[in-house]
Structure 1
């Protein structure tokens, strides 16, 4: 049946002195993948492009447009009216003075991605999703635009600011809006503005804006389901979605849902005794002959549940040698519901509302703990665990005789409600709205233990409630606009408005066992003495915006905005955007703007202890007393930015071929990042001992590497040590193993202190290229698309640490270099959508540039260095961990057996490509040392390390 949309989606609006009907919009596309030289998929893409240029008939659309019913004409995507990046009513994409892309519901529906972020990342080359992460970073998927922070892209829903996540652990502190809670079944389109727009929308819109436009259908709907999995195992995912419209031409109520259930993907590297990793069967036979103290009787003794001879017992773990899964994506269960509604009271007044509710449960692996890391039990209560009691050595009374893998789990609730009125009064357009959103996340550590409780009592819980963090945003806005005819080519648009916002953030403590002493192993609970509290602030903003056209082919858009925050003061920013149409084919456009980003309350007040099996890093509040004692008394300040862009628009040089080319430069000063100061680092001396065939001891600390040169210094950092003592983390500033302090005793070999700061300034330069072309043939049609992004980020300033830290660095020269090289500098999307009768084939090739980071090789013997790509940097040897060029081919085939049923099958990463593996010499060396961060594949790839994904979907409209 024909779906009817709300009346405002077909009313006539003024468009720069013309009358234009708002078009419905649908698009389509895919992502792809492969690596190497001229791979099979690159060859396929080259052939596709050659065929397009040689066999074109005539064009029709920009992206992918689905077949329309015979009685309805689907407009080209460039004729779609946009509402993002401009306050001119009726602006189209091809007339926009700012670069903007539209991703339609049809694209999202056919994508192999199971969430909105990945679906958008597949379509927008300057937008890359993070596929893996540790701790809480893996449980809230984030993405970055132009290799900046996720915080630098603003998310709107129906033009209204979306609330942010409460998860500070995502992407090193980024608290962007979690688009995973927006059901794709509710989305009509997403408008992606790739230009600085803080003067229009306020804080955060430095790199760009995502405006999610919701469906307003008042009848009809759809139901759908899908299943996907990786061919090499894992990632089994089922998805379900639905959407219904109710009402009439005066009022509408549209509701929808998305449900996703996803299993983890395991690509763990071997971990454990090197000989056993190499030949487990031989190792097992060797152990059973009596090499272990308890030999083959180990698993039969009455003490088997607690007793372990030494770390070699990890070979009895049923997952050995693939016991360490940290970094693998989490198991996830997500349920999202949303509605969108409106009611035309009169022709000049509409009441509207939209809202969402999301629930998500996630479970991710933490680093594997070896059997003896719990330290044993003080059976005779004499203050140490070195005695033999009743024939049992105290240090060998272990809770998990084969070691254990803790899990970090979260249970999240996310909701938002927006309501308002818009219309026209006395010639003025108005929009008055209020939006409240809240994110709450309960955090748990499971399958773990508290080492301190175990050492002292011989008992410990296995599952812990660590605490809860929450965040809320309440935004109230008034927007007014009016067109004035002052004798120019077209009337000028004058817009003004104001905003009042309240932000809140808080952390609630966990159960006492989660933070007592060492706390829950892998993720200690939030301690009410140092980690918890509630914080809030309010802000006011006002703006003026004037859009004028001095001539028929010249548009100028000027805006200025003022904001004042209760915690750090005020900011005034502005922008000027212009477009000049040289003729009907060529146009020039450009923007100069300033912007800012207010630090989130989570960045300012989050505090926790991050631990690994052999290290600990307390994170201090930058706006708290701990940071002040280290010389950071002012707390976090806002980031400020300057954005320049210039672009060329080419439309119809041959019928319906469209191309845009935009160059940009974004400079961010006082950029917020998480800096880390070394108090002590371990295992440098132990490394050489281990290579000599002796036993390593990861619990013996070495002096701190305070200057970041890879060589331990002669003494500990006193300022950091005293701060650690003041907060109760250690008992003596120059001896971390001395009695006292709450840090895990097994994690004191590598101690650092971290906090968010404004130490960096960066400059990002790049180019976006978007081209589309459509060809019609007697047998069907093909829509071609090409989009590309080149992006280069440079650190132009790194401020020195406060003098009280005695020369310690927040970001070493190595950190800064890796920031500049660890992301691919370019990405290219090639797409073709082929429609033949009831069948549609989508092909998309996505090519990612290479990237690399440098990792210290100072401790490696020369024999290992000879096998690596060694780079000498600041007189220290590093090996180059490089991920080469990757190209991915994605294909899907859709069939419509009836007008209202669609069946889709597809494959992402058709040629089953993976990132480069860790060099074998490093792999062998790390295995020998029981290195807990070992991975088979280089980390940091925007496509993950999962291989080919196969999927199938079915949907029915009604």
Structure 2
């Protein structure tokens, strides 16, 4: 085995607890001696989690780590994970110590674009090293919350085969996963290969669609709408119009449960990895590793009612209220008379390759490597239509190619370290290095029909006039690292790092980490560090139109001319952080280890999406189909199009002028102008959003990890307790530029949600019982409470009286509370031979679900024209799907 691959190759599984390569550049560091909090997770622990994917498997072992789908639209098709309730972008992923490239799929709401670990087969992993501490001084940008270092298998004899199936007991989510690993070679050269296939079906817990209940009893529905409305909250005759024009939804094949937005996507995935090494001589090794993967995902979006396509202007007079020769109103000429369920589909390719040389010369350990990674995603909208094309021509295709986005990263680095005897208790370790990285990002346009006018309903294509382009940047870095051991009990680790970026300038960060062992059983450790995160190019240049059934939101590029026109300056700047942590390590006797680490992370200029209202208020006006309008035939404006004496909408003049100037919307009576129009069904609200350096936050918390191994005459029990408590505070939020005339960038409720939308704590309890050929793995995962706020202003007092209300400023909100969840998991494994393993298990055996929408809200919306279809609150890391059984087979050869 090449002996210089210390960072690129791991020790054997039974020695994992003794070897550490993450969080320190001191060779031979044992985990129990680490000055920084590092949790080790081996391949067996991942396999025994029962989770269908790598990120959820990690989450069962590391309580400060949460896997979740963030955002909507295409963002829901890439699973992300966060550490310490921060952004997924704040955790750095390494493979064998080398930076992993990020996904091109930018979450429109959060900007999350971290490494997509679904392209890493679990069968390729020897173990993980999870550093839960700020480490930007060691590894550069992104390592604010921590680092996940995935150490690949290097076995060169034999292999393994694994297969598992699973399904939710309440139906749906059937998953098949098959993977294998094989290695060959000798002591001086090896190749280890892994391959994984997975098919995962969607799962739904949707209930009766609100408008569908209205259609069932239109008279009662109108009585509820008219009489159950709070004083001063106007309801126009538009709902009677909807009831007439949407009657065809009763013919939908899934009526009345036809709205499935928010369900997880259907996924087909292939992932492969190869790891290789060759000992050129006793002082020089060549290594390489790389991956290739493909993923296809498809998800249902919000159901579109028949009335929402607006009909067909058959005589071309610009008014769709005319009656055709057969007596049909033009507004009732629908492409989908029963409405339709658009789908968003992606086809994704992911590639990476690392090649390096590692050696030793004159006491210097050095490592020269180059790493290339790319991720490309083709985006489609299917089973949909273009409302504008239908309104104008009576024709529209159903499937659209929306465009492609891609991200590439190429990193070349040289690291070197040497030990010097300077008269201390142990030699001083000096490490230094250089790094060059090139990042690229781009969006390719969709076909014209996907973005013309309203574009493909649900996900308009990328318009070459406003949304597409290619972008790149270069960065250079250098670091110095000194590790001193003044006494046998005391270690001090000091590092400083300088990085220079071609787009925003330079950053210098540093850290001091220390550990003092009072006895063999008790030690104290701590870190003071600064860090930073460079904005991803996706955050800086992603642009799209995000639409819903009654809303639309163009997302501007922060680094665009339009953003500068609105007063946002020179675009995104880096986030900066200050991290303080202190911990205790207890090893009172053999078999028992316990660590407690408290931390505080302050992040300045945190990147978040801000939203500004352009127009509101037209959602309650009767649909007319007329082409009047100041800005666009499809946009609400102050005109009184329905003749009720009340302006249709309020709007922000400055924002509207900028949208027109830079082609995001068309001009009066010109829907074919650059940028076209927005979705004509987006009548209730139209807003503009963009990422910006807007928040300063403070996150404080405690990690507690305890393991205890007990042996008995009949077998053994390995006990685990891992817990995390976390609290985030918004210290300040930047106001919108004065040019927007007092527009609000963040509501008080959205700022509150930043603090409360993640579980307050997590506790993982585990007992692994081994008796002869049987192993019983018991796990209890406890998730603390969390909540978000929603406006209560539109509900009558009788409803408010039943809600948990919160007043912020002049606004009244109610809590969407998800209470504490207890998830009990069990797995039984039978090992009849040294090579064969059979397992059966169930996660969440008591079929726990998160809380439902507050009953007062649900009852009020029931049989009203409301888009309710999902009974359970979203946002919980455990989802809303209930218990899941699984069966696994493993064979080693």
The normalised TM-score by structure 1 is 0.86
Q: 2: CA distance between counterparts of 1:382 and 1:336? A: 55
Q: Does 1:441 align with 2:377?
A: yes
Seen in structure 2, the aligned counterparts of structure 1 residues 737 and 389 have a Cα distance that, compared at 3 Å, is same
Match of 2:329 among 382, 389, 393: 393
Q: 2:363 and 2:85 mapped to 1: Cα distance?
A: 43
User: CA separation of 1:871/1:277 partners in 2, compared to 1, >3 Å: closer, same or farther?
Assistant: farther
Q: Summarize deviations over 1:433-457 as a string: whole Å, max 9, x none.
A: 0000000000000000000110111
Equivalent of 1:757 in 671, 692, 695: 692
Q: In structure 1, what is the Cα distance between the partners aligned to 2:436 and 2:867?
A: 48
Q: What is the alpha-carbon distance in structure 2 between the residues aligned to residue 519 and residue 104 of structure 1? A: 48
User: Among 301, 304, 328, which residue is 1:366 paired with?
Assistant: 301
Do 1:626 and 1:723's aligned partners in 2 also have CA atoms closer than 8 Å?
Answer: yes
Q: d(CA) in 2 for partners of 1:843 and 1:535? A: 49
Give the aligned partner of residue 354 of structure 2: 418
Asked whether the 8 Å contact 1:337–1:357 carries over to 2, the reply is yes
Alignment of 1:737-886 (within 5 A): 741-886=676-821
Who is 1:185 aligned against?
123
Q: Which of 281, 304, 310 is equivalent to 1:375? A: 310
Match of 1:938 among 873, 877, 885: 873
Counterpart in the other structure of 1:570: 506
The answer as to whether partners of 1:718 and 1:734 remain within 8 angstroms in 2 is: no
SS for the counterpart of 2:562 is helix
For residues 714 and 459 of structure 1, the distance between their equivalents in structure 2, rounded to whole angstroms, comes to 30
| SS state at 1:935 partner | coil
Structure 1 residues 810-865: Cα deviation after superposition (integer angstroms, max 9, x where no partner): 11111111111111110111000000011000011011111111110101112222
Distance in 1, Cα, partners of 2:618 & 2:882 = 35
How far does residue 164 in structure 1 lie from its aligned partner after superposition?
A: 0.5
CA contact (8 A) 1:598 1:638 kept: yes
RMSD (CA atoms)? 2.5
Aligned to 1:333: 268
Q: How many residues align?
A: 852
2-side partners of 1:24 and 1:851: how far apart? Answer: 41
1:733 deviates by 9.1
Shift of 1:8: 3.9
Q: Is the 8 A contact 2:635 2:677 kept in 1?
A: no
Partner of 2:889: 954
Change beyond 3 A, Cα 1:916–1:736? farther
Partner of 2:561: 625
Deviation at 1:592, TM superposition (A): 0.3
Which of 455, 458, 461 is the equivalent residue of 1:522? 458
For residues 503-524 of structure 1, what are the alpha-carbon distances to aligned partners after superposition, in whole Å with 9 as ceiling and x for unaligned?
Answer: 0000000000000111000000
Equivalent in the alignment of 2:828: 893
Matched, 1:109 2:52: no
Moved more, 220-229 or 913-922: 913-922
C-alpha deviations, 1:95-137, integer Å up to 9, x for none?
A: 0000000111111222211211111111110011114652112
Q: Deviations over 1:145-188 (max 9, x none)?
A: 00100000000000000001000126621110111101110000
Matched, 1:493 2:429: yes
Q: Does 1:225 align with 2:163?
A: yes
- Is the counterpart of residue 150 in structure 1 residue 85 in structure 2? no
- Between the aligned partners of 1:350 and 1:740, the Cα distance in structure 2 is 55
Distance 1:411 1:941, change over 3 A: same
State the distance in 1 between where 2:139 and 2:872 align.
40
Aligned partner of 2:76 in structure 1 is 138
Q: Return 728-737 or 896-905, whichever deviates more.
A: 728-737
**Structure 2 unaligned blocks of 5 or more:** 222-241, 623-633, 640-646
How much has 1:535 moved relative to structure 2?
0.4
1:678 Cα deviation after fit: 1.1
C-alpha contact 2:619 2:683 (8 A) present in aligned 1? no
- Correspondence for 1:659 among 591, 594, 608: 594
- Distance in 2, matches of 1:395 and 1:277, equals 18
For the residue of structure 2 that corresponds to 1:411, the secondary structure is: strand
> Matches of 1:954 and 1:828 in 2, distance apart?
29
Separation of aligned partners in 2, 1:534 and 1:930? 43
Instruction: Compare relative contact order (CA 8 Å, sep 6+) and give the higher one, 1 or 2.
Output: 1
CA distance in 2, matches of 1:476, 1:741: 44
**C-alpha distance in 2, partners of 1:633/1:927?**
46
Structure 1: distance between partners of 2:635 and 2:541:
32
Shift in CA distance, 625/322, structure 1 to aligned 2, threshold 3 Å: same
Alignment of 1:142-541 (within 5 A): 142-169=80-107, 172-273=110-211, 275=213, 310-390=245-325, 391-541=327-477
| Partner Cα separation in structure 2 for residue 644 and residue 193 of structure 1 | 14
Alignment of 1:596-675 (within 5 A): 596-651=532-587, 653-675=588-610
Q: Unaligned 5+ residue runs, structure 1? A: 1-5, 14-20, 26-73, 284-306, 688-698, 705-711
* SS of alignment partner, residue 453 of structure 1: helix
In structure 2, do the counterparts of structure 1 residues 22 and 403 end up closer, same or farther at CA, with 3 Å as the change threshold?
closer
Query: In the TM superposition, what is the alpha-carbon distance from 1:392 to its structure 2 partner?
Result: 1.6
Distance 1:934 1:232, change over 3 A: same
Q: How far 1:258 moved relative to its partner?
A: 1.1
Structure 1 residues 729-778: Cα deviation after superposition (integer angstroms, max 9, x where no partner): 44569999999942122214310000000011100000000001011111
Q: CA deviation at 1:925?
A: 3.1
CA offsets, 1:607-637, max 9 Å, x none? 1000011111000000011101110121000
**Pairing 1:5-16 to 2, within 5 Å after superposition:** 6=1, 8=3
Do the aligned residues in 1 keep the contact of 2:581 with 2:599 (CA within 8 Å)? Answer: yes
TM-score (normalised: structure 2)? 0.92
Q: 2 CA distance for matches of 1:308 and 1:910?
A: 43
